[in-house]
Amino acid sequence: MKVPEWIGRRAFSSNTHIKSLLKELSLNTICESAKCPNINECFGKGSATFLILGNICTRNCGFCNVKHGVPTPIDKSEPYRVAEAVKRLGLLYVVITSVTRDDLPDGGASQFITTVAAIRKQKTEDRCQKSDVRSQKTEDGRQGPDIELLLPILENRWLNQIVAIQPKVMAHNIETVPRLYAQVRPCFNYSEAIKFLNYVKRADNSILTKSGIMVGLGETQKEVIEVMNDLRAQGVNILTIGQYLKPSGRQLPVVEYVQPAQFDEYKRIGQEMGFKYVASAPYVRSSYKAWEGESCS
C-alpha cells in the first residue's frame, strides 16, 4: 500500500544528550522499544516516556514492537535511576509506562509506586522554560513534577494502591475496536479494559483518566465512535486517536491510511461527547505531548 503524502514528516534532529543519559542510567523508553515515529521530535525536546519493569513483555500484541518472552527479574534500583533522569532532564511532566508482567503477583504495581515516590522525592529544577513542556503547578500540594501512568491491566487490589498515590493522570489504551481484539490484542479483553478505566474513575474522580485508539487496522468509523462512546460512559477525560503505522515486518499490516479530515471529525465528535481533551491526528500517540492533555484539569 502506498504511503500517502500526509504521512510524510519533516525531519527532526535527535538529541544525543538524552540518548547518552538513558544509556548511562540503563533506562528503557517506550519511544525506543515501540519504535515510535515521534522519537526524534520528543528526544529533541528533551522528552521521553519511561518504560519500567524491563523491556520484555509477557504478552504479544499484533501491533506492538516491544519484545515478547520471559522477562528479567525486577530491578530494584530502576525507580531511582528514573528519578535521576527526571531530575537531570528537568522534566516537569513525566510519563511512565511498563511492559505487561503476568509473572508478577502484583503485576508490577509496587514498581510503579516506588518509581513515583522516588520522582516526587527529587527536587526537580525548573529548566524546561526553553521547551513547550508545561510549567509545574504546585497549588495542589503535590511534590515534584506531575506524573502520568500508562498502566497495564491490574487487579483491583493492586490498582487501589496506585490510586492512593494520586498520579495526575492514569491511562490505559483501549487500542482498537472490539471486533479486532482477537487480532490486535489477543491476550486482552475489551470489556476488561473498559472496566479497568471505570474502576479508576470511581475510585478517585479527581484523577484524570485517559485512553487511546489506533485507526487504520480495518475498523469502521461507526465502530470507532462506539468505542469513543464506551470510553466516555466510563468517565474517561482524555482521548488520543492516531494512525497505526507498522513498526517492523513482524506486525500486522496497515489496512488503511485514514484521511486527515477524518481525524478532525473524530476530534469534533469527541469534544461534543464531553471529553475534556481530544488529540486526533495521524502521528498522535498516547504519550505524545502528553502534558497538553493534562492541562484540561
Q: Which of 63, 41, 146, 52 is nearest to 100 (CA)?
A: 52
Residue 207 to residue 235: CA distance in whole angstroms: 11
Residues in the chain: 297
The pLDDT value recorded for residue 5 is 85
The pLDDT value recorded for residue 287 is 81
Residue 181 to residue 227: CA distance in whole angstroms: 12
Amino acid at 252: L
Domains defined along the chain, listed by start: 13-294 (3.20.20.70)
User: Rounded to two decimals, what is the model's pTM?
Assistant: 0.89
Q: Mean pLDDT, 10 residues at a time, over the chain (297 residues)?
A: 78 74 94 83 82 93 88 95 93 92 96 97 53 45 78 96 97 96 92 95 96 97 98 97 90 94 98 97 86 67
Amino acid at 74: I
Q: Which of 296, 56, 62 is nearest to 184 (CA)?
A: 62
Residue 53 to residue 231: CA distance in whole angstroms: 27
- Positive or negative torsion for Cα 144, 196, 55, 128: negative
Residue 65 grid cell: 514492537
